Structure 1
């Protein structure tokens, strides 16, 4: 089943959700700020996205700028920061089977559904 890691306060995430709703396909909404992914889940998402943890970070967030920017962090330390501060996770993330995409721009979601 298609999954979307969604934050309703984010315009891009709402746009991604709308694309899925209009597709008519079954999907699951994961409100990742409430149901924070485990370390294993997040590492699996990164693997599906085929990106490094730093590429999943919202670097303009105050939390990042005040606590992590400019530090030489390992991949594991970045994953830990994302789990402790899920607001830092780029969104929306859409997963369909063994494919995943960050829906920015939102139209990219169409490539995997």
Structure 2
């Protein structure tokens, strides 16, 4: 697989740092996007969810206080909330080509490196 690797992350997140370390240890070239400095759009969120091949709710950090308000929300409402409040997004998300993985645990990134 020769597709470029992109990691969507938050620098203070321990899982993000561990995933970055795994990529560096393997000598992989990648682009790192801090989605707090470069916010994700609703369209990009939909693309990531499609590549992750998971339900929208699986990308929602349910332990965040503001997530409680989303229990009856539609997928579009959840995506809008995640765009407006990036703390609601599970992280890190690593993309390679047409596939993506939620790297919780960080070792999930290895599935994209085969």
Q: TM-score range by the shorter chain?
A: over 0.9
Task: Please report how far the alpha carbon of residue 108 of structure 1 lies from its aligned counterpart in structure 2 after TM superposition.
Answer: 0.9
What is aligned with 1:105? 105
Unaligned stretches of 5+ residues in structure 2: none
What is aligned with 2:37? 34
Task: Please report how far the alpha carbon of residue 69 of structure 1 lies from its aligned counterpart in structure 2 after TM superposition.
Answer: 4.5
Partner Cα separation in structure 1 for residue 70 and residue 43 of structure 2: 24
Unaligned stretches of 5+ residues in structure 1: none
Contact 2:11/2:17, CA 8 A, preserved across alignment = yes
SS at match of 1:20: helix
Q: So what's the TM-score if we normalise by structure 2?
A: 0.91
How many residues matched? 110
SS at match of 1:79: helix
Partner Cα separation in structure 2 for residue 12 and residue 64 of structure 1: 20
SS at match of 1:104: coil
SS at match of 2:39: coil
Q: Are 1:43 and 2:54 an aligned pair?
A: no
SS at match of 1:35: coil
Contact 2:5/2:31, CA 8 A, preserved across alignment = yes
Partner Cα separation in structure 2 for residue 101 and residue 90 of structure 1: 11
What is aligned with 2:61? 58
Partner Cα separation in structure 1 for residue 63 and residue 49 of structure 2: 20
Q: Are 1:7 and 2:10 an aligned pair?
A: yes
SS at match of 1:17: helix
Partner Cα separation in structure 2 for residue 84 and residue 51 of structure 1: 20
Q: Give the root-mean-square deviation of aligned CA atoms.
A: 1.0
